[in-house]
Amino acid sequence: MMCDLVNRTVLKGKVKSGLGNANIWVGKAKKIFKEKYGMDLFLGTLNVELDRDIVLEENEKILPYEYGGTFDVYVKECEILGIKAYILRTEKNNKINGDHPLNIIEIVTDVNMRKQYKLKDDDEILIYI
């Protein structure tokens, strides 16, 4: 469990269904993610619709050649439901003209959060960054 939540930003949102294809992209990034961040990812993401837009900083990222994709993937460590996780967002979706609005984020970790925590669409959730 992580600590020092006092000095962290809190994001509020609701769980939402995604397109159902995240397992493909997480699968492609799984090996490099383990090497860079030490986490063996569950093959899927938790989509969260935030109550405000956010843009991730570009300092932590996975490059296209590292996972066989087209765009840089920005990575931001976070805590959700008391566990360490990461927000992932492609550089394309980190801009106003992306495929997703700026208030939608995808979260990865080493467990199936929907199953483990019995999450369903529209459940309210807090994310600490």
Model pLDDT for residues 3-55, shown as the tens digit of each residue:
455 678 999 999 999 766 677 778 888 899 999 999 999 998 999 999 999 99
Looking at the domain assignment, is residue 113 inside a domain? yes
* Backbone angles phi and psi of 106, in degrees to 5: -115, 135
Which pLDDT value is given to residue 95?
87
Which pLDDT value is given to residue 4?
53
Q: What is the CATH number of the domain that holds 116?
A: 2.40.30.30
Looking at the domain assignment, is residue 101 inside a domain? yes
Looking at the domain assignment, is residue 1 inside a domain? no
Provide the 10 A C-beta neighbour count for residue 115: 10
What's the pTM value of the predicted model, to 2 decimals?
0.89
80 burial type by CB count under 10 A (0-12 exposed, 13-18 middle, 19+ buried): buried
Give me the sign of the Cα torsion angle 29, 35, 40, 45.
negative
Q: Facing residues of 69 across strands?
A: none
Looking at the domain assignment, is residue 5 inside a domain? no
- Per the structure, how many domains does the chain have? 1
Q: Which residues are CB-neighbours of 94 under 8 A, at least 6 positions away?
A: 55, 56, 58, 74, 102
Cα 115 to the center of its chain, rounded Å: 17
Looking at the domain assignment, is residue 32 inside a domain? yes
What's the pLDDT tens digit per position in 63-99? Answer: 999 998 888 999 999 999 999 999 999 999 898 888 8
Q: How far apart are CA 75 and CA 111, in angstroms?
A: 18
Provide the residue type at 21 as one letter: N
Query: Which residues span the domain enclosing 69?
Result: 10-128
Looking at the domain assignment, is residue 100 inside a domain? yes
